[in-house]
Amino acid sequence: MSDADPWRQLAQERPFLLRLARLQLASAADAEDAVQEALLGAMKAWDSYAGRAGLRSWLTAILRHKIVDAIRARRFQAPLPDSASDDDGGEFDPLFTSDDAWHPDSFVDTVCGATKEAERQLLDIIEVCVNRLPEDTARLFLMREYLGMELKEIEASCTISSGNLRVTLYRARMRLRECAVRGWGELE
């Protein structure tokens, strides 16, 4: 088999897709189903794909629709982070001074210009960082960032308060920034 074999190429992206799906859907079986449907759909549409976008990107977009369909069919478990509170619990205090200015000792100032060559590596860093988020946080974060749901929809379908949701998204993005800037630093 060569790399041009569609199934082989699709199979290589399967673990990434499954991680995304498992964060969104109630059961492992539902996640498997969504990924399987996405891959079968991709196989059928293979001729129209013809490498026009990155393969992962194309599959990720197909899977998004399968997951949204599954959620609409109510095969969805609302995450209920009982422990979530309306403040950030002091998690990011070390980043700031007592006046809430950035602390010069803990501030990482790496900014990464996304060159074409480094793109793949940068995406790997972000993926690693997303995978390090706690599961409930990742689920809410991806409903917003991946499924593109509005805050109000997420609040309604997860019975989470507006304050909790905002704090959860804030924490996720602050953690991702910390994780990412350290990874960018290692590329230099």
Give the C-alpha separation, 179 to 108, whole Å. Answer: 10
CB atoms closer than 10 angstroms to residue 91:
11
**Nearest approach, Cβ of 84 to another protein (angstroms)?**
17
- Judged by beta carbon, residue 29 or residue 40, the one nearer another protein is 40
- Judged by beta carbon, residue 32 or residue 153, the one nearer another protein is 153
Tell me if 154 sits within 8 A of 81, measured CB to CB: no
Tell me if 168 sits within 8 A of 141, measured CB to CB: yes
Tell me if 126 sits within 8 A of 180, measured CB to CB: yes
- Judged by beta carbon, residue 7 or residue 170, the one nearer another protein is 170
**Nearest approach, Cβ of 81 to another protein (angstroms)?**
18
**Nearest approach, Cβ of 159 to another protein (angstroms)?**
19
- Judged by beta carbon, residue 7 or residue 107, the one nearer another protein is 107
**Nearest approach, Cβ of 71 to another protein (angstroms)?**
16
Cα 77 versus chain centre, distance: 17
CB atoms closer than 10 angstroms to residue 88:
13
Using CB under 8 A, list all residues that contact another protein.
41, 45, 53, 56-58, 60-62, 64-65, 92, 96, 99-102, 104, 107, 109-114, 119, 122-123, 125-127, 130, 142, 144-146, 148, 151, 166, 169-170, 173-174, 176-177, 180-181
- Judged by beta carbon, residue 29 or residue 61, the one nearer another protein is 61
Cα 161 versus chain centre, distance: 21
**Nearest approach, Cβ of 54 to another protein (angstroms)?**
8
**Nearest approach, Cβ of 97 to another protein (angstroms)?**
8
- Judged by beta carbon, residue 44 or residue 74, the one nearer another protein is 44
Give the C-alpha separation, 82 to 27, whole Å. Answer: 20
Tell me if 108 sits within 8 A of 185, measured CB to CB: yes
